[in-house]
Amino acid sequence: MTDDIERVRERLETAERLAVLTGAGVSAESGVPTFRGPDGLWRKYRAEDLATPEAFARDPRLVWEWYDWRRGLVSQCHPNPAHTALAALERRGPGFTLVTQNVDGLHALAGSRDPVEMHGNLWKVRCTACHRVGDDRRVPIPIPPRCDACGGLLRPHIVWFGESLEADVLERAFRAFAYCDVALIVGTSGRVQPAASLAGVAKQAGAFVVEVNPDPAPPDGRVDVTLAGKAGELMPRLVPA
């Protein structure tokens, strides 16, 4: 493992274009629950009841209660050393793109400047009537929340199952992985598309691909080095302060 860490550290130091994909695992040590682990959210709740446009149309109050609970939980959480190390990596120079599937906003709190949030953000709301997107950090949020501009029903600005990702978000994410020379895949089970394709896109483009995960995916030829461990412990070793 120490040799692998040294190898990856050297690659990170010499990389000209670096692309990072993070998933729920990067926030696990901050206390944010993952989706598919033993205590994962999708073990306790049915995504069909809470994270689909149909669920929201059927029962917006129930959906908002769940998101309000998650907002309350995340409001108590702080960035961990993995978030901090990724922000430090970005500060080393240009040619860095951070793509996250997380909606918790912890990367930005740690100092990452412009993370590509593929699945939206818990702290943003969108009007179902006038489609305006705005910040809303109220905890608890009045349920159901209403748009200041038009009085329409607000929804979480989150990409739900069955919904498309925003075109510019997709474009930024795929471009970063298609043109990087090193790709880091941190704390994701790789079960949700299109994020799950990004490692393969980087590999096909000839990049050196590294996975950081205590329970990594079985080898499939897309990853050059697997670092089996927690992001909060390994990332600071890869990016010494």
Residues involved in catalysis: 119
Helices vs. strands in the chain: H and E counts, helices first? 11, 9
By CB under 6 A, residue 23 contacts ligand OAD: yes
Q: Which of residues 156-185 bind ligand OAD (CB under 6 A)?
A: 159
85 within 8 A of 236, measured Cβ to Cβ = yes
Among 15, 35, 107, 123, indicate the residue that binds ligand OAD (CB under 6 A): 35
Residue at shortest CB range from ligand OAD: 25
Count of chain residues binding ligand OAD (CB under 6 A): 26
Binding mask 209-228 for ligand OAD (x = CB under 6 A): ---xxxx-------------
DSSP per-residue string spanning 161-197: TTPPPPHHHHHHHHHHHHT-SEEEEES----STTGGG
Give the closest residue to 227 by CA, choosing from 18, 82, 78, 35. Answer: 82
Cβ within 8 Å of residue 5, ≥6 positions away? 227, 234, 237, 238
Q: From the CB of 195, what's the least distance to ligand OAD, in Å? A: 7
By CB under 6 A, residue 29 contacts ligand OAD: yes
By CB under 6 A, residue 36 contacts ligand OAD: yes
By CB under 6 A, residue 96 contacts ligand OAD: no
Cβ within 8 Å of residue 63, ≥6 positions away? 50, 51, 55, 56, 155, 156
Q: How many Å apart are CA 120 and CA 24, to the nearest integer?
A: 13
By CB under 6 A, residue 105 contacts ligand OAD: no
Query: 158: which strand partners?
Result: 120
- CA 154 from chain centre, in angstroms, equals 23
- CB closer to ligand OAD, 140 vs 162: 162
- Extract the tokens encoding 16: 């000209």
- CB closer to ligand OAD, 40 vs 144: 40
DSSP 130: T
By CB under 6 A, residue 34 contacts ligand OAD: yes
By CB under 6 A, residue 84 contacts ligand OAD: no
Among 84, 101, 112, 121, indicate the residue that binds ligand OAD (CB under 6 A): 101
Can you give the binding site for ligand OAD, defined by CB under 6 A?
23-25, 28-29, 34-37, 40, 51, 101, 119, 159, 187-189, 191-192, 212-215, 230-232
